[in-house]
Structure 1
Amino acid sequence: MVTATDATAEPSVSAWAPLRTAVYRSLWLALLAANIGTWMQTVGAQWLLVHQANASTLVALVQTASLLPMLLLALPAGALADTFDRRHLLISVQLFLVAVAAALTLLTAAGRMPPALLLTLTFAFGVGQALTLPAWAALIPELVPREQLRAASALGSISVNVARAVGPATAGVLIAKVGVAPVFGLNALAYLVFAMALIRWRPGDARAVEVPERFTAALRAGGRYVRHSPTVRRLLRRALVFVIPASALWALLPLVASRRLGLDSSGYGLLLAALGVGAILGGLLLPWIRTRVTANRFLLVAGALYGGALIVVASVQVVPVVLIALLPAGLAWVTVLANVNAEIQLFLPGWVRARGLAVYQVVQGGGQAAGALLWGLVADVSGLVVAFGVAAALMLVGAVTSQIWPLPDLRGASRDPAAYRPPLALALQPDPRVGPVLVTVTYRIRPEREAEFFEAMEHVRGSRQRTGAMRWGLFRAGETPDQYTEVYLVPSWDEHLRQHGGRLTEADEQAEYRARDLSDGAPEVRHLLPATAEWTTGVDRQAT
């Protein structure tokens, strides 16, 4: 795997460049409104529960009800987004969210909103958001040029942090003046705006899907791709190495505010605002930073900044100093995660992009959840200072590992789908559901080409497994030493047709051509199917 260790800094792309694209601009602004509405709804829901019995537990359950669907449904949501038209899926989900928000508004205005119903509707809203995130993230590469993806990812982070700053403050003012129901109503309106922006968008070359993949098959295919892609796994590890120690700050900051700095809720809000300002600055500065610092040196510097901020927060009890330290922490948080998110978007081919991004969301969200629990337990046992100190040490160690296990260099990597292959003339055409399918490819390799052939077949193996193979092996015939047979097992005939009719990228095709060029004569390909399969005569679809 090629890495970016020695790569030069990239050409400058303005942080605002994606907003010059009218479609992206309108959708980004509509999503910003929806994000603000979501934060307003969260505050409104919590406020409805503050005077209930067991208020502490109920208020905390609002966050649980909102976030739990993202962990439970991210992978299924990614499969849906890769299986069906993403625009239509997003429109349907936004209209569902409008209906949920409208129900919250009307029932709250009527005084018929018990805690159980409020939490149920909050969970339903979280389901809608879980279905939205993978589809929206996978749609971004279709809206902006490839060179603007990192800027678009940073703008997404800016949107979230602006909403985090504006939404709660706006909700607090409105609740004090007009009550909670209008806050829920504004959230319904915000999601209606997002739905209308999606309806108005008419993509010129909408992605065509001949026959949607079956849901369970699509889910398994996404898992196989991530499992057999070293590049994706390395990017996920880099995110996890950063998120786990970084989550200490988000999890323990309320305790820092109350116990170490003696601040009330407004003071805690000020600390969050400092993190938010740093995050917004990070999003704006990311394109500028990438023109001056290589990707892996950038990870090292960002980790050092965040680790230093953790040390300051743990050791200093002067509010202005802590506020200043939180600015680079927010900057590092956004720039690292936006960068890794953009790298994954750049690498994933279109057919599996939403599923791969869903795995990233699970890793990031799960890392934050597990890290928060870990640092809470450490703080309970050893105190806040020790917890922050350990987190800072892990952050600095993780930053150093970026030089040992660097980010892959994706410049020039072709992720476009390979051209469709000519139909294969089979005497009998199986039903698409038939499986498993055993494919054999026999090569004749001269002794002087063996080392080069083995190297080429390693790339072929990865390609087969990422695109559908459950098992793969390379065997040598004892009777004819120059004969090698590649054997791989695919779950169904439909999976095999998809494997060679949309899942292969140009890079996959190049790897296969390299192995074929080393063979004396064209390799012999055979497709072995269950003897009891359903058959039809003639040629139907294409495969190799």
Structure 2
Amino acid sequence: MSTPHLASLSSFRALRHRQFVAVWLGALVSNVGTWMEVLALGVFVTEVTGRAEWTGGVAALTYLPSLVLSPLGGALADRFDRRVFISLCAVAQALLAACLAGLAFTGHLTVHAVAVISLLNGCVHVLSGPAYTALITGLVPKEDLHSAMTLMSAQFNLGRILGPVFAAALLAFGGVAWVMFLNTLSFMAVLLAVSRVHAEPPVVRPIEPKGLWADIVEGARMARGEPGIRMAMVSLFALALFISPFIALVPVFALQVFGSDASAASALISMQGMGALLASGVVGALAVRWGRERVVDLAVLVMGPVTVFYWLSPTLPVAMGTMFVLGAVYLVVMTGLSTRYQERTPRELQGRVSSLAMLLINVGYSVGVWAQGALADRVGVRAVTASSAALFLVAMVGLRLQRPRTVDVAST
């Protein structure tokens, strides 16, 4: 049931819970497949079109459905068995990946087909995301929530390391079709993991059930009315808008700025993942020593400068080094802000509040990655992305100055 050594390490305390471990492993396998697909499709679109706007635009389509579907996904996550809901979404994503594989194997894969399937995949991901987040928070007690969120980010970034490495090898020897095929199989791990999770006790609902819209409004009022949740979500939106596009624009940076190939893009993505893995192992100890909120606030302030240094890197080796640091800081910021709003949310509202956070993150990312990609084609990748990172620093300093004192009190 528990391991004393792991229990003594605050970053790994969530590993004491077997159901969490099962979901963690299933998510890892699925994320390896997803990151294989992300790199392969990014390289495919960049090579076919030669334009950063297309690369960023196709990536944005995966997150754009959040504008409409994210609140709906949150309401559904709080109404139905989350295990069944997640399983159905995993099957749908596997079918979409199979469509990409079929088109690639038959030589009919096009940028437009990638765009359409990315949009559909985004719809499914947006609907399942709140249920997945709510499921995770129910697998561990509140005192282990930050550990669980850190470990989930760690597995996401471990997938970011392994996926591009496998994808680069397959692109060199087997082509994009085999990448899509293996990603299809990876969703089976999600189904197996969810089958190991016990059913949750039913949520006590009003005798006269409210409609979906009323549920969505209730979650929005909760998020707007609680200062800590509100400030965390504003920060996450700014992070997605100004900083997160670096993820989708890696192929552009590697191929167009440094004149390299898919292996360079794979190396940059992997360096981000390794930085995040390192951070996931030490952030718990740092939080115990200096306080979690202080660590997160410091990471938020250095996020902008670190990203500027990455985009202005003069050579590929320097970019790889700064990407390592960027990956570490990015994990601390993302997990810290996510934990901040989740630990303040009642269990019965977690799906809806998580969906609002996903809405802000995905809309911010969609707008940011498309706008930065489009501007990069006109004025240069480095100028646009570095300026965006500087704007994030300005926004976070201003937000910190306006933050209500009640947020700091509630965080201690």
Q: Same fold (TM over 0.5)?
A: yes
Aligned match of 1:95: 91
The structure in which a higher percent of residues are helix is 2
Establish whether residue 336 from structure 1 lines up as the match of residue 333 from structure 2. yes
Provide the rounded CA distance (Å) in 2 between the counterparts of 1:362 and 1:229.
18
Mapped to 2, the partners of 1:277 and 1:268 lie a distance apart of 14
Q: Is the 8 A contact 1:347 1:410 kept in 2?
A: no
Equivalent in the alignment of 2:386: 388
Partner of 2:4: none
Q: Report how far residue 291 of structure 1 moved.
A: 0.8
Pick aligned residue for 2:291 from 269, 288, 294: 294
How far residue 36 of structure 1 moved from its aligned partner, in angstroms, is 1.5
Q: Cα–Cα, structure 1 residues 314 and 26, in superposed 2: closer, same or farther, change >3 Å?
A: closer
Task: Give the TM-score normalised by structure 2.
Answer: 0.82
Residue 179 of structure 2 is aligned to residue 183 of structure 1? yes
- Structure 1 letter corresponding to 2:382: L
TM, length-normalised to structure 1: 0.64
Shift of 1:357: 0.9
Q: Tell me which amino acid in the other structure corresponds to 1:291.
A: V
Between the aligned partners of 1:297 and 1:123, the Cα distance in structure 2 is 38
Q: What's the % identity of the aligned pairs?
A: 25
The CA RMSD measured in Å over matched residues stands at 3.6
- CA–CA distance in structure 2, aligned partners of residues 293 and 400 of structure 1: 23
Larger Rg belongs to = 1
Matched, 1:281 2:278: yes
Q: 2:400 aligns with which of 402, 407, 414?
A: 402
Please name the residue that 1:18 is paired with.
14
Q: Deviations over 1:281-337 (max 9, x none)?
A: 222222111112234432443134334424534665255444333333221111011
Distance 1:312 1:232, change over 3 A: closer
Letter in 2 for 1:98: A
Which residue does the alignment assign to 1:267? 264
Partner of 1:131: 127
Query: Equivalent residues in 2 for 1:55-66 (5 A)?
Result: 62-66=58-62
**Distance in 2, Cα, partners of 1:61 & 1:384:** 18
- Answer yes or no: is the 8 Å Cα contact 1:13–1:147 preserved in 2: no
Structure 2 runs not aligned, ≥5 long: 1-6
| Structure 1, unaligned runs of 5 or more | 1-10, 413-544
Structure 1 residues 396 and 291, CA gap change in structure 2 (3 angstroms): farther
Match of 2:309 in 1: 312
User: Is the aligned partner of 1:202 residue 2:185?
Assistant: no
Residue 395 of structure 1, CA deviation: 1.1
Please state whether the residue corresponding to 1:143 is helix, strand or coil: coil
Q: 1:260 to 1:113 in 2, by over 3 A?
A: closer
Quick check: 1:83–1:218 contact (8 Å CA) kept in 2? no
SS of alignment partner, residue 290 of structure 2? coil
Q: Deviations over 1:256-300 (max 9, x none)?
A: 656765655533443333322222222222211111223443244
Q: Distance in 2 between matches of 1:294 and 1:112?
A: 54
For residue 271 of structure 1, what is the amino acid of its counterpart? L
Show the counterpart of 1:223: 220
**Would you say 1:358 and 2:355 are equivalent positions?**
yes
Q: Is the 8 A contact 1:18 1:144 kept in 2?
A: yes
Equivalent residues, number = 401
The answer to which structure has the higher strand fraction is: 1
Render the CA deviation track for 1:191-238: whole Å, top value 9, x for unaligned. Answer: 122112212322363545577642222223222332333332122123
1:506 — aligned with what? none
> Is contact 1:248–1:388 with CA below 8 Å preserved after alignment?
no
How far, CA to CA, are the matches of 2:390 and 2:155 in structure 1? 28
Q: Distance in 2 between matches of 1:253 and 1:42?
A: 11
> What displacement does 1:123 show?
2.8
Tell me how far 1:392 sits from its aligned partner.
3.1
Cα distance, 1:19 vs structure 2:
2.0
Matched to 1:168, the amino acid is P
Could you tell which deviates more after superposition, 227-236 or 117-126?
A: 117-126
C-alpha distance in structure 1 between counterparts of 2:340 and 2:104, whole Å: 43
Once residues 105 and 239 of structure 2 are traced to their aligned partners in structure 1, the CA distance between those partners, rounded to angstroms, is: 44
2:64–2:362 CA contact under 8 A, matched in 1: no
1:122 paired residue number: 118
User: Is the CA contact (8 Å cut-off) linking 1:12 and 1:291 kept in structure 2?
Assistant: no
227 and 182 in structure 1: CA distance in 2 versus 1, 3 angstrom threshold: same
**Alpha-carbon distance between aligned partners in 1 of 2:230 and 2:47, rounded to the nearest angstrom:** 46
Q: How does 1:462-501 map to 2 (within 5 A)?
A: none
CA contact (8 A) 1:251 1:375 kept: no
Shift of 1:47: 6.6
> Which AA in structure 2 matches 1:236?
M
CA-CA distance at 1:83 after TM superposition: 1.9
| Aligned match for 1:193, one of 185, 189, 193 | 189
Structure 2 counterpart SS, 1:347: coil
Which of 122, 136, 141 lines up with 1:140 in the alignment? 136
